[in-house]
Structure formats: C-alpha cells, structure tokens
C-alpha cells in the first residue's frame, strides 16, 4: 500500500531498498549455509540406506535454497527460546521457517549462542525473519544463572550445550513465559490451542515419548518415576516460573557436571521437574517416534494429526526430507486442519450465524 500512494521517486527508492535487503540476506544464506553436493549420493550400489541418501540430498538442496524475507504477522506474548551452535544454523533456519508458515501469531524469538558465532553474521543469515531475533550469549546466560544463586548451573552451561539449554530455560522462564524448542523440530500446525494461555504456564511441561533416554542412577536417587512410562522428552518445554525447588536443582546439576556432554543428564533433570510438580504436554503436540528412520516412506504427520515432529539425533536425515517437502508446498502448512480445529471453526461460525 505504501508503494501505491508514494510518488514515483519515493516508490522507486523503497523498492530498491527492499530489493537490496532481500539480496543481502539471500547472499548471506548462500555464503553461510551452502554445501557441496557429494557425487557418491548418486551411486546406486554405495551401500547407503535409501532414507539416509534422500536426507543427504535434501540437506544439500536446502543449503543452496535461501529463504526470501517473510511477511510480518501478529505477535504472541511468549518467548520462543532455542539454542544453536554454528553447525546447526541450517536446521534452525528450516525449523523457524516451518514455524513462520504454520503459526498464526509469531512468538518473540531468542536464540542462545554457544559463543562460537557472531551476532552480526547471524543477523544477516536470519534477516528473512519478519522481526529482529534476539541473541543471548553463553556468557550472559552463565551470568544470569550465577546471579540467580546457581553457580553450579553456570558451570554446567559453560561446559556443554545441554547445560546451556537448561540454564537458559531456568533463567529466562523466571522472567517471562518461555517455550523452549530444540532446533531439530519442524512445525506443521499452529499449536496455540494445545499450549493454552501462557499466563497458566506456572508448572513445567514437556513432551512424552515411548523410549527412556534418562540417566538411570541419577533418576533412581532423585525421582524413580522418571524411569516409568510415559517417559519425558525435553525437546519442547513450556514454563513461566521456577523449574523446581533450588536445592533439588543444585543437587541434580552437580551430578550432571562430571558428564556434561551426556544429553541424558539434562533430560533427566527436566524429567524430574515434570514428574515431581509438572505435567506432560498434549500427545499430539509433537511426534517423538523413530520407527520409520530407515524407511523410504516416512510417517504422515498430517494424517496422524500431529502439530510438530522431533527429529532426534539419528533422525536428522528425516528432518531434511520433511523440511524439503514443506518448502515445496505451495499452500500454507495449516491448510489441512486437524479434526479438532475444524470442529472449533465450525462452532465459531455457527455462533456468528
């Protein structure tokens, strides 16, 4: 509308600035994310699993396919928190792109850095996002943990990304409603109806899964229920307040410190908080299953009614396969609503009539 009412010179200037801005982020994405195509992926008898082969090809295609600047949307009163190192920027970009297309109201994005990448480079690569993305450094998170009375947590955050994730959740959730989401999650529908009002996020909630990826000896000492189904997955955590009482948290973190690179320690701490005084997020919020990891045909998130999927370590090739499918879709991701959403809209229309 601005271009329609501006004089020709002003319109030309605005258009040129918009074009330069778009070209800048497209160029930054190509420079930072593009990877070479491995010709070995085309060899039919290389012994590589077909699912992994397709995932590698999809990842290469996505690395060379930059995202144009996206239109603004209404904002949600929640902080969307995630942690990323430099090696996973491509994954983070595709995760955020799926969020932008599927959510009707966009949260405030905060990315926690491992201090191995620069905020200005990140800003250029992610300038396609419709609003500025906040960046928290590892030092800032560690300082916040120490100031909150958790020096052990600051040490844990300094030693590993798992500790950094935990420290970011603990410190940020004390200030505002936080939805922590791992970078290896793709969104297919708007989850607002499942997450509920952020004002009510006073107790920790996390995903459920059928596998038990917990630190057994730690769980037995602090919360044996962690080892009982349904098991807790920390890929998505919703909270506004204290994760748990200070003393149990300090004790758990002290046990995790000797094994900072063991992801099961961080997940056991989150699981303990959920089992003691929290609850599990709705099952349909995210699919956390691995039965199709080596198959040509992957599970259909739409038909099964899930809102997202968590592609843990050995599922990363599936992440890129599905991310490429989402990019190839011409219609909006939420164009195929779940039955609950369809019923809700039908009720709303009836009420208007």
Phi, psi of 40 (to 5 degrees): -60, -20
* Residue 241: inside a domain: yes
* Residue 15: inside a domain: no
- What 3-state DSSP class applies to 325? helix
CB-neighbour burial class of residue 297 (10 A; exposed 0-12, middle 13-18, buried 19+): exposed
* Residue 233: inside a domain: yes
User: In total, how many domains does the chain have?
Assistant: 1
**Radius of gyration from C-alpha coordinates of the chain:** 21
Q: How far apart are CA 115 and CA 282, in angstroms?
A: 34
Report the predicted TM-score, pTM, of the whole model to 2 decimal places: 0.87
* Residue 1: inside a domain: no
CB 311 within 8 A of CB 319: yes
* Residue 52: inside a domain: yes
* Residue 14: inside a domain: no
Pair of tokens at residue 12: 């030309």
* Residue 269: inside a domain: yes
Q: How far apart are CA 69 and CA 300, in angstroms?
A: 29
CA distances from 227 to 57, 213, 231, 274 (A): 38, 9, 7, 12
Q: How far apart are CA 290 and CA 243, in angstroms?
A: 28
Among candidate residues 117, 184, 155, 181, the one with its CA nearest the CA of residue 260: 155
Question: How many other C-beta atoms are found inside a 10 Å radius of the C-beta of residue 251?
Answer: 15
CA distances from 238 to 189, 219, 227, 270, 283 (A): 17, 21, 21, 11, 14
* Residue 13: inside a domain: no
Pair of tokens at residue 85: 């190192």
Q: How far apart are CA 224 and CA 243, in angstroms?
A: 18
Q: What is the pLDDT along the chain (353 residues), one digit of tens a residue?
A: 344 444 554 545 444 555 777 899 999 999 999 998 876 667 666 667 888 889 999 999 999 999 999 999 999 999 999 999 999 999 999 999 999 999 999 999 999 999 999 999 999 999 999 999 999 999 999 999 999 999 999 999 999 999 999 999 999 999 999 999 999 999 999 999 999 999 999 999 999 998 888 999 999 999 999 999 999 999 999 999 999 999 999 999 999 999 999 999 999 999 999 999 999 999 999 999 887 777 767 788 888 999 999 998 878 999 999 999 999 986 444 444 444 444 343 333 223 32
Q: How far apart are CA 276 and CA 162, in angstroms?
A: 21
Q: What is the CATH number of the domain that holds 125?
A: 3.90.550.10
Pair of tokens at residue 222: 């602090």
Q: How far apart are CA 276 and CA 252, in angstroms?
A: 13
Residue 281, domain extent? 25-353
Q: Which residues of 137-173 are buried (b: 16+ CB within 10 A; e: fewer)?
A: ebeebbebbbebebebbbbbbbbbbbbbbbbbbbbbb
Phi, psi of 134 (to 5 degrees): -75, 145
Model pLDDT for residues 38-69, shown as the tens digit of each residue? 766 676 666 678 888 899 999 999 999 999 99
Q: How far apart are CA 310 and CA 100, in angstroms?
A: 17
Q: How far apart are CA 96 and CA 181, in angstroms?
A: 10
Q: How far apart are CA 302 and CA 316, in angstroms?
A: 19
Model pLDDT for residues 245-303, shown as the tens digit of each residue? 999 999 999 999 999 999 999 999 999 999 999 999 999 999 998 877 777 677 888 88
């Amino acid at each position: 509308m601005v271009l329609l009412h501006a004089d020709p010179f002003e319109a030309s200037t605005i258009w040129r600035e918009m074009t330069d801005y778009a070209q800048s982020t497209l160029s930054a994405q190509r420079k930072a994310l593009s990877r070479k195509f491995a010709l070995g992926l085309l060899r039919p008898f290389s012994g590589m699993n077909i699912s992994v082969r397709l995932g590698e090809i999809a990842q290469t295609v996505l690395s060379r396919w930059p995202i144009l600047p996206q239109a603004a949307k209404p904002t949600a009163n929640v902080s969307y928190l995630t942690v990323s190192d430099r090696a996973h920027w491509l994954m983070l970009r595709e995760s955020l792109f799926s969020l932008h297309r599927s959510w009707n109201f966009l949260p405030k994005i905060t990315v926690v850095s491992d201090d191995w990448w620069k905020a200005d480079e990140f800003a250029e690569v992610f300038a396609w996002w419709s609003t500025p993305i906040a960046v928290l450094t590892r030092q800032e998170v560690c300082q916040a943990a120490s100031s909150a009375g958790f020096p052990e947590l600051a040490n844990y955050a300094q030693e590993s990304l798992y500790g950094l994730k935990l420290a970011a959740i603990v410190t940020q959730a004390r200030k505002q409603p936080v939805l922590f989401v791992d970078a290896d999650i793709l969104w297919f529908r708007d989850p607002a109806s499942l997450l509920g009002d952020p004002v009510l996020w006073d107790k920790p909630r996390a995903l459920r899964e059928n596998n038990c990826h917990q630190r057994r000896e730690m769980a037995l000492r602090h919360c044996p229920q962690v080892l009982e189904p349904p098991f807790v997955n920390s890929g998505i955590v919703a909270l506004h307040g204290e994760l748990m009482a200070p003393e149990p948290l300090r004790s758990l973190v002290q046990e995790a410190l000797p094994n900072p690179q063991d992801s099961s320690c961080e997940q056991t701490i989150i699981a303990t908080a959920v089992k003691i005084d929290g609850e599990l997020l709705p099952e349909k919020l995210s699919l956390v299953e691995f039965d199709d990891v080596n198959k040509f045909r992957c599970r259909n998130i739409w038909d099964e009614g899930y809102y997202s999927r968590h592609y843990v370590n050995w599922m990363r090739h599936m992440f890129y396969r599905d991310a490429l499918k989402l990019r190839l879709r011409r219609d909006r991701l939420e164009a195929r609503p779940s039955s609950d959403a369809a019923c809700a809209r039908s009720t709303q229309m009836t009420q208007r009539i």
